Structure 1
Amino acid sequence: MSRINELLTRGVAEIIEEQSLKQRLASGKKLVVKLGIDPTASKLHLGHYLVLQKLRDFQDAGHQAVLVIGDFTATIGDPSGRTTKRVALTKQKIKENMKDYTTQAGKIVDLGRAKTVYNSSWFNNLGIDGIIELASKATFSQIMERKEFRTRLKRDHLSMLESFYPLLQGYDSVKLAADVEIGGLDQKLNLLMGRQIQKRYGQKEQDIVLTPLLRGLDGVEKMSKSAGNYIAFADSAENIFGKIMSIPDSLMREYFIYCSRVPNEQIDTVFSDLSNKKITPIEAKKKLAYEIVRVYYDEGWAVKARREFERVFQEKGEPRPTILAIGAEQKIKALDFLIKNKLASSKSAARRLIIQGGFKIDGQQIRDPKTMVTLKKGLNLRLGKFKSLEIILKGGQK
């Protein structure tokens, strides 16, 4: 498979103006390829991998990758696919979320060759005249083409600010004179608006590369922090490996293609061997987990993660505990303990972990989130199948 063919097919759900994009690629021109991400949460997850990897693919093909951090648009929040209004984020919260964004994105994209821009750099200076001009580039009926907008408008739950979001994202493309924009399928209408806004500002319209939406660990819903079914780039190698091993077998091919760098030919071989019973599903899944860990860590960490999984789950060992240092013995509600120490992705995920019996203290299950827990030295805590903690007092005394 040629590089251009793979660029336009692997992990691609739809290309808008495919012939135009092929002509641009064949022209030899260095294209400006844009990907925008709003810092509405502090962690990137595997659901972000595919768009970042597609940006890297264009980069490796010799084009200019531009990563747009939507620190301005994040104050509104992307309404795509939502039936309720997003909770507005403060500038301080957005700043906190952005702190490690580029570091995380840099696991996939070569930031040394990419441009990283913040859309507040132009929106903060746009002024009321610029806003009025931008608003004139689209009609209200075009905005209302979005099904979720029409539904929410009937309930009087759509703010004017949210309806303006697609125009703002489209204006990013104008400022960058983007040739190509990458996004998930749920971003299609926003990216189409970018084409329209560019045309109204006298620019050639960008072509669009849309990627599929990755299903989360449950195999049903889209991977997201709010659903609690995600794997973060920043998760430990052991946690990434263990979580991949927990996915339904039916997701394996999807994860091989959308979350790893394994060549298509090798993926076909894995599933051929599965069909011919040369390997078992667990062996195939261990290869998948190993390859995904390698994306975020090096090969040595991937080997360690595989060995730890085999030791704990196939040899029935216990996970090695992580040390958690506290200032002094204390009492705290189980739910508050998990949230305070960032041991769950969200409050709802922490509550779910406890109610489902995934939180143990010295081997005893805690099923009530309101249970008071006495934290003291030597206490052993178990969180789900993959994580064990041992409490020490600060200063190192167990």
Structure 2
Amino acid sequence: MTKIDIDPQKIEEILNRGVHEVYTKEELREKLLSGKQLHLKLGTDVTGPLLHLGHSVVHRKLRDFQELGHKVTLIIGDFTTLVGDHSDKVDVRTESSTEQIKKDEQEYKQQFFKTVLEEQTEIRHNSEWLKDLDFNDVINLAKQFTISQLLEREAFMIRYKAQKPIGLDEFLYPLMQGYDSVALKCDVEFGGTDQTFNLLAGRKLMPVFGLEPQSAMVMKLLTGSDGRPMGKSLKNYIPVSDNPNDIFGKIMSTVDEVMFDYFELVTRIPMTEVLEMKQAIEEDGENPMKFKKILAKDIVTFYHGPKKAVEAEKEFEKTVQNKEVTKANTIEVSTHGKMPVLEFLKQAGVSKSNSHIKEVVKQGGVEVDRKKVTDFTQVIDFKEGSVIKFGKRAYYRIK
């Protein structure tokens, strides 16, 4: 039988670190102190395989609970994905095919278990119970909510005011997610602030079926590395599957303003130490880079181990701080000859987007043999042995 850790200090850390809201904190504290193994729920629609540090905020919290002895059920929303969750969307989301869902699921699990303990996790699919509901069941679920409650959700309200279509099936999504909690008799469900309504749907439905309502833990959202909201379209996210050097370098590239949010949400460095670091910058004038290295090293250590973290730090110091070009950070390309800078970079495969290449060039992010180039139409004779720098960390050597 699994031994449950009921250390009050650890429980208070879990209830507060990185947490936006708990419904309710007193209730969940009581559950954690009871010594009972809690059944934790995380639902996900695998609409894409790539997981980043923004996702890891919730996943690290699950890991915290697991380290106290509790178990997780990851619900793959193979049924709900066919409808789509619009919690943070202001337009109709494209539906996924069953085949694509299965493909994305495999890649999702590989990355998910980089953060969450696989041996304390069960994977279920909500088609197991949702496909068996009849129309009468759906009507009974729908009776528990009102249209006005659903329209209060920001994403729906924006579309409603803009006279954009809202499908009736979209209103059914929180009912389905809520019923997932009923089917599995969950104790606690997790999500970000954009998931609050869906989490509370489960809490509302469970008593209707004679069950104790689940607690809901709503986590803060991680800001993108550039200080804007994190999003794949903005390219300001850090994939958990990145190699050690890339994770370290991308952490070092984050703006100083978000550094301590990352400390709180993505690491488990004691908050007393985090506050001391913040104070050292604000009051003693310490260089933020000193502490950003601690942040980067801690995150790389979690995903790749301490040896790789030390190597990544050394590589960063060589290639970024000392601007050395090493074999480890150089990609060999065969493209050569006289041609415009844009054409060379396209052939070298630095990016699939011409507009992205042009932007990096114009911003001074391209060097040819240590000479900065800012005109993407400039014709250069690219010779064997030349080194081209693109962006902050990418180097290409002509072979």
Residue 160 of structure 1, aligned match among 162, 168, 176 = 168
Alignment of 1:191 with 2:191, yes or no, is no
State the shift of 1:343 in Å: 5.8
Contact 1:321 1:390 in 2 (8 A): no
Q: Distance in 2 between matches of 1:96 and 1:358?
A: 36
Whether the 8 Å contact between 1:357 and 1:366 is mirrored in structure 2 is yes
Distance 1:288 1:339 in 2: 36
Task: State the match for 1:4 in structure 2.
Answer: 11
Query: Any idea what SS the aligned residue of 2:47 has?
Result: coil
Give distance in 2, aligned partners of 1:361 and 1:40. Answer: 40
- The separation in 2 between residues aligned to 1:11 and 1:151, in whole angstroms, is 28
Structure-1 residue corresponding to 2:221: 213
The alignment status of 1:122 with 2:129, answered yes or no, reads yes
The Cα of 1:126 is off from its aligned counterpart by 3.4
Q: Secondary structure at the residue paired with 1:68?
A: strand
- Do the aligned partners of residues 325 and 339 (structure 1) sit closer, same or farther apart at CA in structure 2, a change above 3 Å counting? closer
Matched, 1:113 2:120: yes
More displaced stretch, 276-285 vs 151-160: 276-285
Asked if 2 retains the 8 angstrom alpha-carbon contact of 1:53 and 1:109, the reply is: yes
Pair 322,127 (structure 1): closer, same or farther in 2 beyond 3 Å: farther
Distance in 2, matches of 1:268 and 1:257, equals 10
List aligned pairs for 1:70-109, cutoff 5 A.
Answer: 70-109=77-116
Measure, in 1, the Cα distance between the counterparts of 2:356 and 2:126: 32
CA–CA distance in structure 1, aligned partners of residues 357 and 211 of structure 2: 48
Indicate the residue corresponding to 2:316 in structure 1. 309
For 1:202 and 1:339, locate their aligned partners in 2 and report how far apart those are by CA, in whole Å: 64
Report the Cα offset of residue 377 of structure 1. Answer: 9.6
Cα separation, partners in 2 of 1:172 and 1:350, compared to 1, 3 Å: farther
C-alpha distance after superposition, 1:158-195 (max 9, x if no partner): 11122221111111111111111111111111111111
Aligned partners of 1:355, 1:69: CA distance in 2, in Å? 44
SS at match of 2:95: coil
Report the AA paired with residue 271 of structure 1: K
Question: Secondary structure in 2 aligned to 1:15?
Answer: strand
Deviation at 1:27, TM superposition (A): 2.0
Partners of 2:51 and 2:331 lie apart in 1 by: 25
Distance 1:355 1:82, change over 3 A: farther
In structure 2, do the counterparts of structure 1 residues 360 and 71 end up closer, same or farther at CA, with 3 Å as the change threshold? farther
- Asked if residue 259 in structure 1 is aligned to residue 266 in structure 2, the reply is yes
Q: Partners of 1:127 and 1:349 in 2: how far apart?
A: 50
Q: Is the 8 A contact 1:359 1:384 kept in 2?
A: yes
Alignment of 1:318-357 (within 5 A): 318=325, 320-321=328-329, 323=331
Pairwise CA distance, 1:25? 1.7
Structure 2: state its 5+ residue gaps: 1-7
**8 Å contact from structure 1 (residues 183, 210) kept in 2:** yes
Amino-acid identity (%): 38
Give distance in 2, aligned partners of 1:152 and 1:233.
33
Deviation at 1:390, TM superposition (A): 5.4
Query: Of residues 55, 70, 80 in structure 2, which corresponds to 1:63?
Result: 70
**TM-score, with structure 1 as normaliser:** 0.84
Displacement, 1:41? Answer: 1.8
The more displaced of 348-357 and 80-89 is 348-357
Work out whether residues 339 and 350 of structure 1, in 8 Å CA contact, stay in contact via their aligned partners in 2. Answer: no
Mapped to 2, the partners of 1:169 and 1:352 lie a distance apart of 42
Cα deviation 1:292-332 (Å, max 9, x = unaligned): 11121111111111111110122121254455799xxxx9x
Question: Pairwise CA RMSD of aligned residues?
Answer: 3.7
**Contact 1:358–1:382 at 8 Å: present in 2 too?**
yes
Q: Are the aligned partners of 1:43 and 1:232 in contact in 2 as well (CA < 8 Å)?
A: yes
Contact 1:47 1:224 in 2 (8 A): no
- Structure with bigger helix share is 2
What CA deviation, in whole Å up to 9, does each residue of 1:254-279 have, x standing for no partner? 11111112122322332344345484
Unaligned segments of structure 1, at least 5 residues: 392-397
8 A Cα contact 2:333 2:396, kept in partner? no
Letter in 2 for 1:88: E
Count of equivalent residues: 388
Paired letter, 2:273: Q
**CA displacement at 1:360 relative to structure 2:** 7.0
What is the match of residue 395 of structure 1?
Answer: none
1:24 shift after superposition: 1.5
Aligned ranges for residues 282-293 of structure 1 at < 5 Å?
Answer: 282-293=289-300
The residue number in structure 2 matching 1:388 is 395
> Shift of residue 21 of structure 1?
1.3
How far residue 351 of structure 1 moved from its aligned partner, in angstroms, is 7.8
**What is aligned with 2:248?**
241
Given that 1:138 and 1:197 are in contact with CA atoms closer than 8 Å, whether structure 2 keeps it comes out as: no
Inter-partner Cα distance in structure 1 for 2:348 and 2:128: 34
Measured after TM superposition, the shift of residue 204 of structure 1 is: 1.4
| Secondary structure, counterpart of 1:215 in structure 2 | coil
Q: 2:57 aligns with which of 19, 25, 50?
A: 50
Matches within 5 A, 1:226-237: 226-237=233-244
CA distance in 2, matches of 1:118, 1:32: 16
Q: 1:38 & 1:366 partners in 2: Cα distance?
A: 43
The aligned amino acid for 1:314 is: Q
8 A Cα contact 2:41 2:190, kept in partner:
yes
Q: Distance in 2 between matches of 1:348 and 1:101?
A: 30
Distance 1:78 1:181 in 2: 16
1:38 lines up with 2:45 in the alignment = yes
Native 8 Å contact 1:66 1:115 kept in 2 = yes
